[in-house]
Amino acid sequence: MTGLLIRGATLLGETREDIRIRGGRIAATGRLNAELDERVIDADGLVALPGLVDLHTHLREPGGEASETVLTGTRAAAAGGYTAVFAMANTSPVADTAGVVEQVHALGLQHGFATVRPIGAVTVGLEGERLSEIGAMARSRAEVRVFSDDGRCVHDALLMRRALEYVATFDGVIAQHAQEPRLTEGAQMNEGALSGELGLAGWPAVAEESIIARDVLLAQHTGARLHVCHVSTAGSVEVIRWAKARGIAVTAEVTPHHLLLTEELARGYDARFKVNPPLRRDDDVRALREALADGTIDIVATDHAPHPAEAKECTWAEAAFGMVGLESALPVLQTTMIETGMLTWEQVARVMSSAPAAIGRLNGYADPLTEGAPANVTLVDPAARGTWSTGDLRGRSTNTPYAGVDLAGAIVSTVHGGVATVLDGALRPADEVASAAARQREAARG
Amino acid sequence: MKHLLSTRDLDRETAVGILDIAEDMARTADREVRKLPTLRGKTVVNLFFEDSTRTRLSFESAAKRLSADVITFSAKGSSVSKGESLKDTAQTLQAMGADAIVVRHHGSGAAHLLAHAGWIDAHVLNAGDGTHEHPTQALLDAFTMRQRRYGADSRGRDLSGMRVVIVGDVVHSRVARSNVWLLSTLGAEVHLVAPRTLLPSGVESWPVTVHEHLEPALALDPDVVMMLRVQQERMHAAFFPSGREYAREWGLTAERFAALGPDTMVMHPGPMNRGLEISSAAADSSASTVLAQVTNGVFIRMAVLYLLVAGSSEERA
Amino acid sequence: MTARTVLHDADITRALRRIAHEVLESRRGDGRLVFLGIPTRGTVLAERIQRLVDEIEPGTSSVGSLDITLYRDDLARTPTRAPAPTRIPDEGIDDAIVVLVDDVLYSGRTVRAALDALADHGRPRAVRLAVLVDRGHRELPIRADFVGKNLPSSTSERVSVRLADVDGVEEVTIEP
């Protein structure tokens, strides 16, 4: 079988068409007849989306292989309909040199489940003191364009200014984890009445909003691009809206969990709900949904943050921040944005694929599902209904906040660069995907 | 009652019931034989991740008066400091046959986690979790207030009509939280006094009246003035400028104490910082209930252990 | 489910009067009498017996109550109950003749617990037991010194004592 024919999919939820995939690209769309050497995927009732792109994934390799590896993380990504992930720099060693980013990038190529684009650290060792070798990482085979100290904030104003200016030289962008460190010392959850009652140190909204306000002004001053990671408060949305109205080159992301979950979940001290930035109030969730719908927030990114069980089976203050989110992202989006009528499938394709690809300077996602485009396709069954469980996870860690939650929609198939990574809801075996990806690369070269 | 984690979980009837049982326990203190056979054959574990000699001794003595076997597990210098988790420790204690675990932990929610994570099925008694709650301290405070107010006629009564002023580091105080919920459940009128830096966020939604200055609250002629312990280190994190300024603005100085009504009780959960939140004149006066609080602590803990541990296992479900 | 009344109010009054006389007769020498009722109805009965005794020989007896909740041997099998107050007369029980009073004598476990509780309060010269009804089925080597009525019963039957001060009516019933 050298080709794939996806039959009867509803493209972007609009028109019903067949899609022919050959040589890693979309060969044709329309009403097509199957050819002898094609595997036919029946997509009746399924929505075809472009392969999803996650601008914010923690793959943990190197150094954190107990919680995730490039292989397990990209398998989770494929299971969630993703064909590309941007791997955050807070590994051990930190991705602050060309050597580390090339290694991570190569692992992605080798496994074939998704394109892995490493994110480079802004500062050496994420220490916030000296710029890392941004140029070397940009010019490496990993072609790094996104730089972030995620997990930590580039809080020194001078360093942030220089980073914005310097990264612009390489057409890069700083993805800022906006968290004023002094205002959040020991912070455990959203600051408010509930944190006061639970006796957990508060993480005030102003700690996020003040950094975003400063950064958009720095972006304006330097003319450089700024990307704001995991926006979590209504106030941050206001600041970004203001900045965009002023023509400042700022983009912003929201995580699926901030679109659905609130701080109330902290009440049981279950550390699965501990995340940074923390879950906020209902009003924030509403503002974030509206901002995503009106374009103030550009994209959805998962902040997929795997942790081993012991990092969550402890008291709240001792537990690690973060939750896994690759597999559940699209179901959460369908539940929160599609079913509420706030976004169409076409708009979901924008916020989860073309827009993040554009911010990360990832080629091949600008005109998806059209003849000649790279064959990155996700098939979704929008009618699927189910209660989420850890059994739905495909990565190495199980710290999902959605266990027991009813989510709409399911990923049925994923095609990455012409290679099917998920068929009929099941991941394909790693060796088959790796060898198919290798063949595809050979062919592309030849 | 399966666990005692928070005074929020207590309704008026249950709370008064605990205080009444504590009265019964107090009666046993002046008998020839103080020990009761009630918890014979039961094992109570004191699991202390935080140093607190007085609370630990109080629980130990309560459990022993009820004839329980007592195992005290102090996390310092044990396998816990070598990285063994709360979960492993709890499961070990369960395997040793603990019927109840009295836990003191620096992390808010630790007792809740032990009770509800599904690791163990022993009864859990919160002896202080981080900056969250310390329910037996609040119960012994309420017991002390009721006893001073009504004496031998205490049984069955709540604290309706009593006005309680709690002063100091509310934001970091588990004692304050537990007292606010319990005292208001018992019908008392609760006032909090602290600079804004030491008030928790969302305090405006608590069932209290908040004052930023001490004088207006003391002018209300309260029945009880409860001074919270203030940690000296707080000034380094800019909660207040200096101990001297704190004492001047929010301390129960000799002058402020002298101006209190003759029946006003002065309470302190201990240990006291004399000269900071409380003057010696106030601490050593007959208005001070500090020592009565210590004595009553044993009776309250006996009452709670009895309620948790003595009952049938069917009732635990 | 028909309850049969085995003692009416007049029967109960007569039984208590008889017990009062028997207690006085049995007292050798001039020992001080302390009636200790086991809550709830034992306390009421103790007060009534003591009143009768006091009418006959004023000033030779006192009354209190002895709660045994914390001494029960079946605590782990029943839901937790709140203890009732224990009231020991100011003179104490040392060297007194203590008469424990309860409404129904059955397995004997309550009396066993009462003896344990009593020991923690002091050392009486002698301890006697008075009950309104003895229904048999002892599980311990305990017998009553003064019995209002022996009431042979089967273990499946239910014997209820109701007293005016507590229940509003005064009767002892048995029902299958």
Same domain as A309, residue A207: yes
Nearest to B312 among C67, C78, C86 (CB): C78
Domain assignment of residue A368, yes or no: no
Closest-CA distance, B129 to chain A, in angstroms, reads 9
Q: What angle do CA B31, B37, B38 make, to 5 degrees?
A: 110
- Summarize the confidence of residues C144-149 as an average pLDDT: 96
Q: Are residues B158 and B84 in the same domain?
A: no
Which is it for strands A25-30 and A15-22: parallel, antiparallel or unpaired?
A: antiparallel
Task: Read off the pLDDT band of B312 (50, 70, 90).
Answer: low
Shared-domain flag, residues A309 and A331: yes
Q: Do B127 and B81 fall within a single domain?
A: yes
Reply yes or no on whether the pLDDT at C116 is more than 50.
yes
- pLDDT band of B311, cuts 50, 70, 90: confident
Predicted pLDDT of residue B233: 73
Q: Which residue of C has its CA nearest to B308?
A: C80
Percent of chain B surpassing pLDDT 70: 95
Name residues 63-122 of chain B within 8 A of C (Cβ): 66
Residue A199 shares a structural domain with residue A326: yes
Q: What is the dihedral of CA A59, A62, A63, A67, to 10 degrees?
A: 30
Note whether A173 and A204 are same-domain residues: yes
Beta strands in A237-319 (DSSP E): 250-254, 299-300
Residues B105 and B162 in one domain: no
pLDDT at C73 over 90: no
Q: Considering the domain boundaries, does residue B312 fall inside one?
A: yes
| Arithmetic mean of pLDDT over chain B | 92
Least CB–CB distance from A310: residue in B85, B133, B202: B85
Domain match, B194 and B282 both: yes
**Min distance A102 CA to chain B CA atoms (Å):** 35
Under the banding of pLDDT at 50, 70 and 90, the label for residue C140 is very high
Per-residue confidence in pLDDT tens, chain A, 446 aa: 578 999 999 999 899 999 999 989 999 999 999 898 899 999 999 999 999 999 999 999 999 999 999 999 999 999 999 999 999 999 999 999 999 999 999 999 999 999 999 999 999 999 999 999 999 999 999 999 999 999 999 999 999 999 999 999 999 999 999 999 999 999 999 999 999 999 999 999 999 999 999 999 999 999 999 999 999 999 999 999 999 999 999 999 999 999 999 999 999 999 999 999 999 999 999 999 999 999 999 999 999 999 999 999 999 999 999 999 999 999 999 999 999 999 999 999 999 999 999 999 999 999 999 999 999 999 999 999 999 999 999 999 999 999 999 999 999 999 999 999 999 999 999 999 999 999 988 887 76
* SS3 of chain B: helix, strand, coil, percent, to 5: 45, 15, 40
Classify residue B156 as exposed, middle or buried by CB count within 10 Å of its CB (0-12, 13-18, 19+).
exposed
Q: Using CA of residue B80, residue B82, residue B85, residue B90, what is the dihedral sign?
A: negative
Return the closest-CA partner of residue A292 out of A247, A246, A236, A248: A236
Q: Which of B87, B201, B203 lies nearest to residue A313, judging by beta carbons?
A: B87
Provide the domain count of chain B.
2
Nearest to A317 among B130, B177, B205 (CB): B130
Residue B238 within any structural domain of the chain: yes
> Taking CA atoms, what residue in B is nearest to A315?
B110
Same domain, residue pair A298 and A388? no
**Count of domains forming chain A:** 2
The answer to the question of residue B1 being in a domain is no
> How many whole angstroms from its chain centre is CA A356?
8
Q: Domain check: are A201 and A347 in the same one?
A: yes
Find chain C residues with C-beta within 8 A of B28's C-beta.
Answer: 120
- B267 and B167 in a single domain? The answer is yes
Whether residues A174 and A196 fall in one domain: yes
- Do B24 and B37 sit in the same domain of this protein? yes
Question: Which domain CATH number covers B17?
Answer: 3.40.50.1370
C90 interfaces chain B, CB cutoff of 8 Å: no
Residue ranges of E strands in A139-281 = 146-147, 173-176, 189-190, 202-203, 226-228, 250-254
Do A338 and A379 fall within a single domain?
no
CA-to-CA separations, C140 to B36, B40, B181, C72, C130, in angstroms, rounded:
21, 20, 48, 14, 16
The reply to whether A221 and A100 lie within a common domain is: yes
User: Within this chain, do residues B91 and B191 fall inside the same structural domain, yes or no?
Assistant: no
Mean pLDDT for B247-261 is 95
In chain B, which residue's Cα lies nearest the Cα of C120?
B33
Q: Could you count the other beta carbons within 10 Å of the beta carbon of residue A188?
A: 26
* Coil/strand/helix, residue C136: coil
Q: Chain A to chain B, count of Cβ pairs less than 8 Å apart?
A: 70
How far out from the chain centre does Cα A311 lie?
A: 22
Query: In this complex, do A193 and B117 lie within 8 Å of one another by their Cβ atoms?
Result: no
Active site residue A303: yes
Contacts of C118 in chain B (CB under 8 A): none
pLDDT at residue B138 above 80? yes
Give the residue, B103 or B29, on which the prediction is more confident.
B103
Domain around B275? 135-290
C14-63 residue pLDDT tens: 999 999 999 999 987 778 999 999 999 999 999 999 999 999 999 899 99
B119 has a pLDDT exceeding 50? yes
| Rounded percentage of chain C residues whose pLDDT exceeds 90 | 80
Instruction: List C residues 17-56 in contact with B (Cβ-Cβ < 8 A).
Output: none
pLDDT at B315: 42
Does one domain contain both B117 and B150?
no
DSSP characters over B24-39: HHHHHTTSS-----TT
B268 and B155 co-located in one domain: yes
d(CA B104, CA A205): 31
> Is there a domain that residue B125 lies in?
yes
Q: Does A78 contact chain B (CB < 8 Å)? A: no
Question: For residue A11, what is the domain's CATH number?
Answer: 2.30.40.10
User: In sequence order, which residues have a C-beta less than 8 Å from that of residue C58 and are 6 or more positions away?
Assistant: none
C-alpha atoms less than 13 angstroms from C-alpha of B184 in its C-beta half-sphere: 17
Q: What is the CATH number of the domain that holds A192?
A: 3.20.20.140
Task: Check A284, A298, A303, A392 and give the catalytic one.
Answer: A303
- Note whether B127 and B154 are same-domain residues: no
User: Cβ–Cβ contacts within 10 Å for residue C30, how many?
Assistant: 6
Contacts of residue B106, defined as CB under 8 A and 6 or more positions apart, other chains included, come to A317, B49, B50, B130
Same domain, B117 and B262: no
Place of tokens 């005064």: C170
Kindly report whether the peptide bond that precedes residue B241 is cis, defined as omega within 30 degrees of 0.
no
Residue B2 covered by a domain? no
- pLDDT tops 80 at residue C80: no
A315 touches chain B (CB under 8 A): yes
How many Å lie between the alpha carbon of C152 and the closest alpha carbon of chain B?
A: 31
Final residue before a domain boundary, out of A359, A394, A426: A359
Task: Tell me the per-residue pLDDT of B46-86, one tens digit each, with 9 for 90 and over.
Answer: 999 988 889 999 999 999 999 999 999 887 655 555 556 78
Average pLDDT over residues B171-188: 97
Q: How do the domains of chain C map onto residue ranges?
A: 4-175
Residues 131-190 of B with CB under 8 A from C: 155
Residue recorded with tokens 């694929």: A353
The verdict on B62 and B15 lying in the same domain is yes
**Of A310, A333, A359, which residue is a domain's last?**
A359
Residues spanned by the domain of A329: 51-359
Tell whether A365 is covered by a domain: no
Closest CB to B37 among C71, C83, C122: C71
pLDDT higher than threshold 50 for residue C154: yes
Q: Does residue B317 surpass a pLDDT of 60?
A: no
Q: What is the ipTM of this complex?
A: 0.92
User: Which of 3.40.50.2020, 3.40.30.10, 3.80.10.10, 3.30.428.10 would CATH assign to domain C4-175?
Assistant: 3.40.50.2020
Query: Chains that contact B by 3+ CB pairs under 8 Å?
Result: A, C
Contacts of B83 in chain A (CB under 8 A): none
Domain final residue, candidates A359, A391, A420: A359
Whether residues A399 and A253 share a domain: the answer is no
- Evaluate whether residue A121 is within a structural domain: yes
Number of Cβ pairs < 8 A linking chain B and chain C: 54
Q: So what's the pLDDT on residue B166?
A: 98
